[in-house]
Structure 1
């Protein structure tokens, strides 16, 4: 599992995850993921387009960070691109209702800043 980020501008950060968000993968990125989404001044697009597998523990990490951002008055959205399996998992579990999910990166960034 790997994690990277790009500060798109002063108020938007894109956090890119790649690999397997299973127990080992989630443990490997949990602290850095929380730190990258902790800034109260920024909103975040979490890029899941390169995630190969999304387990419940990975979903829990995403939801926990999204809730923490919301409590600070910030916002997280998800970008899945053409990653059908991850999009299906998020839709099946209802996470896409809690955290907005997009196939288009520009739409995701626009929604995060709205």
Structure 2
């Protein structure tokens, strides 16, 4: 098997196949450099790529659809604003309840620390 493998390596090196990738890299680089130029040559000067030509007006159906979309977006935004305003009261009540809870916990921790330190009056109630 080693003889066949070494013979194969020798034949590949002799045939110059090992160096064939060195020739394809410059060709690929040239292809990638030429591709944008080929695409630019296909576009018509003065015409926007991927959009309608600037001199064509918007037809009535597209205009109506665009205006409908704008109106739907306005309505959706007003619903979101209304929801946020109504949730503001709930969030404020929750924040106040959390603050009250944290104050009570801090007082309880202070009393436990005092009780552990030997202040028996803090242990009472």
For the criterion TM > 0.5, the same-fold answer is no
Which structure carries more strand by proportion?
1
Band the TM-score falls in, shorter-chain normalisation: under 0.3
Q: What TM-score comes out, normalization by structure 1 length?
A: 0.21
- RCO comparison, higher one (Cα < 8 Å, 6+): 1
Larger radius of gyration: 2
Give me the TM-score of the superposition, normalised by structure 2: 0.19
Structure with more of its chain in helix, by fraction: 2
